Structure 1
Amino acid sequence: MSVILRRIYDEKDTLGGNRILIDRVWPRGISKEEASLDDWMKEIAPSSSLRKWFNHDPDKFEDFKKAYRKEIDESDKASEKLQELKKMATNERLILLFGAKDTKHNHAIVLKELIEE
């Protein structure tokens, strides 16, 4: 299983794999051609209210992780998307793309953990 996290603003990965954007909002300044996505799974992203509450505050990260996991568990659509991501990751490389500047405290890290469990 190979799950890789990348900021969508970083250099595009040349090794290949499924490129999935996991943000609810399209990243500013990136065209669809530049993004070169296989899918945009906005349903798996944290709710707007959770995202705004968290505001990438490292002190809130543990509470954010718990709340985000709960959101996924309680949403049929998000749970379905998580299963799709798990299936992709077993068959080939999965690249989860996100826009957050903080690469250590964001929803992509939580999602990677869920996929790899």
Structure 2
Amino acid sequence: MLDIQVKRVYEPASTDDGFRVLVDRLWPRGLTAEKVQAGLWLKEVAPSNELRQLFHHDLAHWDEFKAGYFAELNANPEPVQKLLEFAARGRLTLLFSARDVEFNQAVVLREYLLAKA
């Protein structure tokens, strides 16, 4: 079983994070690369702008967002494979900037990666 966690990029980095990957399409406001402490910014794995705008953190669109994001991930296997390779080496932390820690693209991405493993 892969060890993949999600974490808000605004929370302090920890040695327990393992390899940290920023999975947002846009760089988080107000943060420097030094603060983010990500080993990689993999914006190619983030949902499209159209999908982000559809969801816009409105839970009424959650299921539609999730299905659309899964379809986008299926159509873009290279960054997914890269994340699976990192996760196979040890703990992987997916960093996101959304305020909602339960309903965001990193949660969906984690679910997708675990299903693919």
TM-score by length of 1: 0.92
Match of 2:35 in 1: 34
String of CA shifts for 1:22-65, please: whole Å, max 9, x gaps. Answer: 00000001101111110000000001111011101112111110
User: Corresponding residue for 1:8?
Assistant: 9
Distance 2:47 2:88 in 1: 24
Match of residue 108 from structure 1: 106
Residue 86 of structure 2 aligns with which residue?
A: 88
Q: TM-score, normalised by structure 2?
A: 0.92
Secondary structure of 2:47's aligned partner: coil
1:57 maps to a residue whose letter is D
Using the aligned pairs only, state the percent identity: 39
Matched position secondary structure for 2:80: helix
1:51-66 matches, within 5 Å, as 51-66=52-67
**How far apart are the structure 1 equivalents of 2:23 and 2:14?**
16
Shift of 1:14: 2.6
Moved over 6 A (4+): none
- Aligned residue pairs total 114
RMSD: 1.0
> Against the structure 1 CA distance between its residues 16 and 70, is the aligned structure 2 distance closer, same or farther, given a 3 Å change threshold?
closer
Q: In the alignment, which residue of structure 2 is the partner of 1:17?
A: 18
In 1, Cα distance between the equivalents of 2:16 and 2:98? 23
SS of 1:15's equivalent in the other structure is helix
